[in-house]
Chains A and B, each alone.
Chain A
């Protein structure tokens, strides 16, 4: 079945260093939608990025990701981490025929230290 894999459960970085959170997916569907949601403590998930176009960089709030269908990846990156970036990050997958049903990865907790 369809699935999303986030290999890192916890990423701890010093403020100012670059961020990269891994996300790979599996689906038989050729046109998936990929998302990154961010969830701060005691809040609901909030959309950070979305993409369905192969090899096109998507950016928002300093974060960026590129969907690579050849490697089934949608890694999240940021050039310089900020303390306020500390949160849970979820990669998710959906299909064009039902964009609302999200299949989530296990989530990566990003902890930024001063």
Chain B
């Protein structure tokens, strides 16, 4: 079955600590996206990788997050210094960009971060 895997499922950090979460995209997918979802609200785009290169990201990610995709099979999203407002569900999605209009981004189960 097609799957995007995210680890860990749950992460608890104290304010000021560093956090890291990982995403294994669906095999063959070369585009990876991260979103932030607070309290079942709107999904907010964070950053996009294509062939392991970051091509688009919001200012908050540039300032406070670290994100890399060292290989096509593993990406990570980190927060350098956690703040309470970072408590959220972090979702990773992947897709194989191309001319197939029938595909859609596939989401992982997410990492739920709680900052105390």
CA distance A106 to B42 in the complex (A): 5
- Report B-chain residues with C-beta under 8 Å of the C-beta of A107: 40-43
- Report B-chain residues with C-beta under 8 Å of the C-beta of A94: 105
| Contact indicator A101/B108 (Cβ below 8 Å) | no
- Report A-chain residues with C-beta under 8 Å of the C-beta of B45: 101-103
Indicate the size class of the contact surface on chain B: 20 to 34
CA distance A107 to B45 in the complex (A): 15
Tell me the count of chain A residues lying within 8 A, CB to CB, of chain B.
27
A11-19, A38-46, A77-85: which one contacts chain B?
A38-46
Known contacts A44-B91, A44-B110; is A100 also within 8 Å of B31 by CB?
A: yes
Instruction: Tell whether A64 is near chain B: CB-to-CB under 8 Å.
Output: no
Known contacts A106-B42, A107-B40, A107-B41; is A98 also within 8 Å of B97 by CB?
A: yes
- Report B-chain residues with C-beta under 8 Å of the C-beta of A43: 109
Instruction: Tell whether B87 is near chain A: CB-to-CB under 8 Å.
Output: no
| Contact indicator B104/A35 (Cβ below 8 Å) | yes
The A interface, classified by DSSP as helix, strand, loop or mixed, is strand
Known contacts A99-B95, A107-B42; is A45 also within 8 Å of B33 by CB?
A: no
Residues of B near any A CB (own CB < 8 A):
31, 33, 35, 40-45, 48, 56, 91, 93-95, 97, 101-110
Extra inter-chain contacts (13) besides given A45-B91, A103-B45, A107-B43, CB under 8 Å: A37-B107, A44-B108, A45-B107, A98-B31, A98-B48, A99-B103, A100-B93, A101-B33, A101-B56, A102-B43, A102-B45, A102-B93, A104-B43
Subset of 24 A-B contacts with CB under 8 Å: A35-B104, A43-B109, A44-B91, A44-B109, A46-B107, A47-B104, A47-B105, A47-B106, A50-B104, A52-B101, A90-B43, A98-B31, A99-B95, A99-B104, A100-B93, A100-B95, A101-B33, A101-B48, A102-B43, A102-B105, A104-B35, A107-B40, A107-B41, A109-B40
